[in-house]
Structure 1
């Protein structure tokens, strides 16, 4: 029996295939909106497109990890017992950022309502739609695989910046649907990338403290959810998030709790645990 060859550049192959799968799905989402399909059809296809990284990883899995089970791999990412202190700290940080942005926007806004959601039913629907159209679909590939795989060669901090950059760039088609042009588009992209990379560093730190994929899923969910709740100028909202998450990321880098982002001895232990 011939042994299956292992993929030489698994992360590069993953990023490339993720984009190849995402682009036609993204175009399909656009077509559905243009031709006036029901909202639920748009939401379903939008959610499916967010899973492009998971689809790519599943397709490549046997070539990346020959002889291993994809299902078992995914289960391993959730096996560690969740630490209440880690979850609570992450949520409190994000809640504080949300309240600070809410305060800033409310003082500068002239709209009737500061919130985009007007009922509890819509709030619940928005929460779960965001969960399916982002965190659940993206974290297995980008965090569960790409981040951990890159940490075998680089410090978690360096790996976070690299994966954060490519994760942000994956959103490129979406940037050109915002309606922004010229300097506004440049500002949007700049703040978006700062926010994404900063959030990625925060995710990595908290994930490495607990080593359960639920952690980055929660952080990703509340990042998307909170920004979608506030009724304000999109560039301003992205800018505020970029600033606050960058401050948090820098503080975590400086503190480096339990050396989860860098430090030879502890980084080696983390990498061994991930293999």
Structure 2
């Protein structure tokens, strides 16, 4: 009987293929923008490019988990009952950060409006656009697979740092479309990476506490959405985000609720459950 050979380094292969798929898609999106295609077409292609991690994971799935179903794997990531307390906690944390940033920006802003949107229709459109082009496209691969796979051999905290770093580096082509140069670009990259890695630690803690992919999707969604509706200097916004999300991440590391990030010697998470090895 023929058996497919399992990948020896599935997470590394996933990260590599994700970038290989993303780069030409990202270049295509840039070309569409430069050539003046309709805005809706640009947004559709931008959304598709954001799904590169899911495309990569789907392409590698049979080599990572021979004999298993990709569709069933995805379904299993949402099967555990959501805890209302978890949802409420993550939303409250991010809402607090949003209001703190909004307060800081309002005191320093010279613009007439603190918001980038002017109607409920635009607010709903931005919310749905962010959801489709970020959380839904990225979380299956980065958190649903890579994070959980790394936790088989590493502590959740170490796994989240590894995933956070490579997830941040996946955004590298985007950094050079911001228009920043020199020290401004360095600031943007530094604050961006701090924000991404801090958010990943927060995602890991709450995802492990509830074991439903909706949790990191919610965190990812509000991270993108809240910063997108505040009208302010981008460097300042990303700096405030970095500071507040880092503080929350450090607090979670110190508190380590139910030893969810570290502290259980040689404890791994497999199929949504804790196991002692």
TM-score (norm 1): 0.98
Please provide the CA RMSD for this pair. 1.1
> Where do residues 26-175 of structure 1 align in structure 2 (5 Å cutoff)?
26-175=26-175
Alignment pair present for 1:229 and 2:226: no
Runs (5+) with no aligned partner, structure 2 = none
- Contact 2:154/2:268 (<8 A) preserved: no
- Contact 2:97/2:244 (<8 A) preserved: yes
Q: Give the equivalent residue in structure 1 for 2:263.
A: 263
CA shift for structure 1 position 264: 1.7
Per-residue CA distance 1:15-55 (angstroms, 9 max, x = gap): 00000000011001101110111110011000000000000
Q: Distance in 1 between matches of 2:272 and 2:71?
A: 19
Q: Any idea what SS the aligned residue of 1:118 has? A: coil
Q: Any idea what SS the aligned residue of 1:270 has? A: strand
CA shift for structure 1 position 68: 0.3
Alignment pair present for 1:9 and 2:4: no
> Where do residues 169-248 of structure 1 align in structure 2 (5 Å cutoff)?
169-248=169-248
Q: Distance in 1 between matches of 2:267 and 2:16?
A: 28
Runs (5+) with no aligned partner, structure 1 = none
CA shift for structure 1 position 271: 3.8
CA shift for structure 1 position 270: 3.2
Q: Distance in 2 between matches of 1:272 and 1:96?
A: 32
Q: Give the equivalent residue in structure 2 for 1:19.
A: 19
- Contact 2:195/2:238 (<8 A) preserved: yes
Q: Any idea what SS the aligned residue of 1:264 has? A: coil
CA shift for structure 1 position 272: 6.2
Q: Distance in 1 between matches of 2:58 and 2:98?
A: 34
CA shift for structure 1 position 263: 1.5
- Contact 2:86/2:210 (<8 A) preserved: yes
